[in-house]
Amino acid sequence: MARKKVLVLGSGAREHALCRALSAEAEVTVMPGNAGIAAEAATLPGKADDLPAVVAAARASFAELVVVGPEAPLCAGVTDALVEAGFLVFGPSRAAAELEASKSFCKDFMKRHGIPTSDYAVFEDADAAEAHARAIGRPLVVKADGLAAGKGVVVASSVEETCAAIHAFMREGLFGAAGRKVVLEDKVTGQEVSFHAICDGARFVPLAAAQDHKRLEDGDRGPNTGGMGAYSPPPVVTPALEARILAEVIRPTVDGMAKEGRPFRGVLFAGLMIGERGELSVLEFNVRFGDPETAVLLARLDGALLPYLEGAARGDLGPLADRSPPVRNGPALAVVMAAAGYPESPRVGDAIEGLDAAAAVPAVSVLHAGTRREDGKFLTAGGRVLCITAHAADLDAAAEAAYTAVDRVRFAGSQHRRDIGARARTPQKSRATTP
């Protein structure tokens, strides 16, 4: 029986993980991919947010399903363009993708549908935003309204820092058009976790929870990044809390989007803050698989991924809906290795050594993100370079395997955290992975 043809759009570790998972079930082509993906699957040149080029690639690869990885193509309407051309697509429409494309739309949507989130205000005038911050008199979270590659957020520690962020976003154009409108919201404290659900517009399949590490440096210090590592499952998400997340966040979001004429088909990614007493607050929604969360979620998946993606794309998950897919015993942990200068100005072109040695560590998967190949050598080609993932019987063992592999990889200026999953690991074992 001929295997189905699947086109995956994107070039990061998320797409590498999707490619590996789907390759067991389908013939996979990736556009544009990266050097690591190209060693395992067919790739096509082009940009994932170039809509005519994507449609042409879907035709050239005879795609029976297109899986969209990054947010930018979704927010640009790639799903709409592909559907109009007759293709089955896993990923929300442009209208549904506004949940991520606009932070103000997202906050207003949650307010309309009673989804727990912090108080906020939206501004398009910098003077008015700064006046509001000073009137509130306490530090706020400043968010660029549009897409900013996961970096358009400042969690201020003072009123002056709040105003400085407003100035940088709105007057200096730090994030271009994405920062001309800002959301100012109250800070919430606790543990930040991610929760993914595959949705068909009316029903959903819950996936496992994960905990991402956004800050560049150990101890959650340094600038925000697109993510420096993750692990799954985080102990804070108990079965009781997961039931609340489904009832208070995922279900009303799916229902609300359908009621507003924006049925959500794809993966809904809720960024959540869990307070010390179990308080639940939605920080944001993303409309695609997280990166690096995808690495750990798929490392734990026990069985086929394709039926879930196809069911959601068709708008009919059928008997798969409302129950979690099977997962393998034991947690997974991923460590991101980033380039020199990341996140502000990542350096490219540094030679990467030790990839084979890292991949030889038992239970480890080496996923490529920002890499290219030249004269037979792998070189850095982006901010986040690699995502080293391990699945094991317990989190300590997963961390030990992942960091053993990390220590075998070398490139100039490499940056990575040594404390991924430390909150949930045995303290002595956590310290053992730190030089």
Q: What is the pTM of this model?
A: 0.94
The confidence score (pLDDT) of residue 90 equals 98
Domain covering 332-432 in this structure, CATH number: 3.90.600.10
Q: Determine the average pLDDT of the residues in 238-245.
A: 96
1 has a pLDDT exceeding 70 = no
The confidence score (pLDDT) of residue 149 equals 74
Distance CA 74, CA 163 (A): 32
Nearest to 266 by CA among 102, 94, 106, 17: 94
Per-residue three-class SS string for 385-406:
EEEEEEECCCHHHHHHHHHHHH
The confidence score (pLDDT) of residue 343 equals 93
Residue 431's pLDDT band (boundaries 50, 70, 90)? low
285 has a pLDDT exceeding 90 = yes
Q: Determine the average pLDDT of the residues in 396-406.
A: 98
Q: CB of 305 within 8 A of CB of 25?
A: yes
368-397 tens-digit pLDDT: 999 999 999 999 999 999 999 999 999 999
Residue 316's pLDDT band (boundaries 50, 70, 90)? very high
The residue whose two tokens read 């998400």 is: 237
Q: What whole-number percentage of the chain has pLDDT above 90? A: 91
- From the number of C-beta atoms within 10 Å of its C-beta (0-12, 13-18, 19+), residue 238 rates as middle
The confidence score (pLDDT) of residue 223 equals 87
301 has a pLDDT exceeding 70 = yes
The confidence score (pLDDT) of residue 429 equals 65
Q: For 191, list phi and psi in degrees, rounded to 5.
A: -105, 130
The confidence score (pLDDT) of residue 311 equals 97
The CATH architecture of the domain made up of 191-320 is: 2-Layer Sandwich (3.30)
Within the chain, which residue ranges are assigned CATH 3.40.50.20?
Answer: 4-93
Q: What whole-number percentage of the chain has pLDDT above 70? A: 98
- Provide CB contacts within 8 A for 372, sequence distance 6+: 34, 35, 378, 379, 381
| pLDDT averaged over every residue in the chain | 95
The confidence score (pLDDT) of residue 7 equals 98
- Provide CB contacts within 8 A for 56, sequence distance 6+: none
CA dihedral 97, 263, 21, 289 (to 10 degrees): 30
3-class SS at 222? strand
Q: Which amino acid, residue 129? A: A
The confidence score (pLDDT) of residue 432 equals 56
152 has a pLDDT exceeding 90 = no
Within the chain, which residue ranges are assigned CATH 3.30.1490.20?
Answer: 125-180
330 has a pLDDT exceeding 90 = yes
31-83 tens-digit pLDDT: 999 999 999 999 999 999 999 999 999 999 999 999 999 999 999 999 999 99
175-222 tens-digit pLDDT: 999 999 999 999 999 999 999 999 999 999 999 999 999 999 999 999
Q: Determine the average pLDDT of the residues in 79-100.
A: 98
The confidence score (pLDDT) of residue 433 equals 61
One CATH from 3.60.15.10, 3.20.20.70, 3.30.460.10, 3.30.1490.20 for 125-180 = 3.30.1490.20
Residue 165's pLDDT band (boundaries 50, 70, 90)? very high
Residue 434's pLDDT band (boundaries 50, 70, 90)? low
Distance CA 26, CA 303 (A): 13
Within the chain, which residue ranges are assigned CATH 3.90.600.10?
Answer: 332-432
Residue 253's pLDDT band (boundaries 50, 70, 90)? very high
Distance CA 382, CA 411 (A): 13
Within the chain, which residue ranges are assigned CATH 3.30.470.20?
Answer: 191-320
CA dihedral 62, 68, 79, 381 (to 10 degrees): -100
Domain covering 4-93 in this structure, CATH number: 3.40.50.20
Cβ of 255: how many Cβ atoms within 10 Å?
A: 13
